[in-house]
Amino acid sequence: MKEVPLCKLWDNYALAGYERVYSTNSTKQLRKIMSSLFLECSNSRVIDLGCGTGGLFNTIVQRICPAEIVAVDWSQEMLARTREEAIRVQSQDSGVRFEFISTDLTQPLIWQNNIFDSVIANLVICYLPGGWREPLKELHRITKPGGNLYLSTFTDKMDFRSALWTIGPKEFIRAPIASLHGIRFRNIVSRISEQAKALGAGYPSRKELAVYLEQVGFLDIEMLPIYWGFGIALRAKKALTL
């Protein structure tokens, strides 16, 4: 079977109805956990890297209260749906401004140093060809001193086959229809993950991620389990001085 470029796989995921994943219990729990980590930073500038279809926008607006959200994804199909979600959020008189950018997060980022108060990368670094270490340096670079990184990722404990048997029954009991969508989309994600790993992507362990974040200049790291222990969500503050 001919290999499909990763970016195209994400386009296909968007076309398949990616936003339906938001109705699954595990995704709702992830958003709840991410929300619990967000700290208010009124009138600030937030970047949502790998924003998908904008599933975190409401949470960002309600918890962080920014003036601007820069929405970034390398999938044009994801960004098209992101714009629709942004319009819906703005219609609620949130007052937040949006900017939409398509770029490859495996390359040096286009933004200047120390420019964002809050940097969000929700289930992104585990899919990046070439690995997660260099991208984390870039996330540190664009975060303002004293600003916060909010990140979630699958860890080295993640195995999609075992996750399906662990999470699937619990999803079905809570929401049968949503769980069927979830199983379908986990198959898509599994294919994306396998191809990304073939290109050098990797899942960090909890310890090595914490150690590396400290090495690049983050502190006050708080980690919470997600997806029944198959992943983690975290908040880390960029040190004021190195």
Q: Convert the pLDDT of each residue in 28-52 to its tens digit.
A: 889 999 999 999 999 999 999 999 9
The count of structural domains within the chain is 1
Residue 167 lies in a domain: yes
Instruction: Give residue 198's Cα distance to chain centre.
Output: 21
Nearest by Cα to 232 from 152, 171, 166: 152
What residues does 151 pair with on adjacent strands? Answer: 121, 234
In a domain, 70, yes or no: yes
- Position 1 in a domain: no
Residue 142 counted as domain residue: yes
DSSP state of 158: -
Q: How far apart are CA 105 and CA 50, in angstroms?
A: 8
Q: What is the pLDDT of residue 127?
A: 93
Report residue 136: phi and psi, to 5°: -65, -35
Distances (CA, A) of 143 to 64, 75, 120: 15, 23, 10
**Domain membership of residue 70 as a residue range:** 6-238
Q: What is the pTM of this model?
A: 0.89
Count of Cβ atoms closer than 10 Å to residue 128 Cβ: 23
- Calpha distance 141→135 (Å, rounded): 10
Residue 186 lies in a domain: yes
Can you give the CATH number for the domain in which 155 is found? 3.40.50.150
pLDDT average per 10 residues of sequence, the chain (242 residues): 74 84 81 96 97 94 96 95 94 90 94 97 95 97 98 82 56 56 70 90 95 97 92 96 64
